[in-house]
Amino acid sequence: MSKTIIYPVRVEFGDCDPAGIVFFPNFFRWYDAASRNFFHQCGVPPWRETEKTRGIIGTPVVDISSRFVRPATYGDHVEVHSTIIEWNDKTFVMRHELKRDGELLCEGRDTRVFAIRHPDDPNRIKAIAIPQDIREMCS
């Protein structure tokens, strides 16, 4: 059974469009924050530390999608429920369910990689095999 970690979000006025509903890019921002929170809650150090100790600079997104079910508006207290649903050699897939009082508002999926700076060009990144110890911490 995979871990599910909950990341709380309070919807602010600035998160909304002129109609008063959350502007869709904010859901992707919350998925991203929930992803880092997931690793933090599982005991993975901050990326600035893993870069120093292991060369890992983070888990950039290589694919993302979302399905919107119900709107959210400012003042809402919502939760992003995140879990890793698939592990591959170099990629993993996270599912994010954004809920308000248990009601599903939207669900997203993102595919990510563990990345290091490219050894031939530090302006580029390179995906690496997912470290087994991190996989175990997050399962």
Catalytic residues: 17
> Is residue 137 exposed (0-12), middle (13-18) or buried (19+ Cβ within 10 Å)?
middle
User: Which residues, 6 or more positions from 138, have their beta carbon under 8 angstroms from its beta carbon?
Assistant: 2, 3, 38, 39, 42, 44, 84
CB 26 within 8 A of CB 14: no
| Cα separation, 29 vs 31, whole angstroms | 5
Calculate ∠ Cα 55-45-27, nearest 5°. Answer: 100
Quote the DSSP letter at residue 2: -
What is the greatest pairwise CA distance in the chain? 49
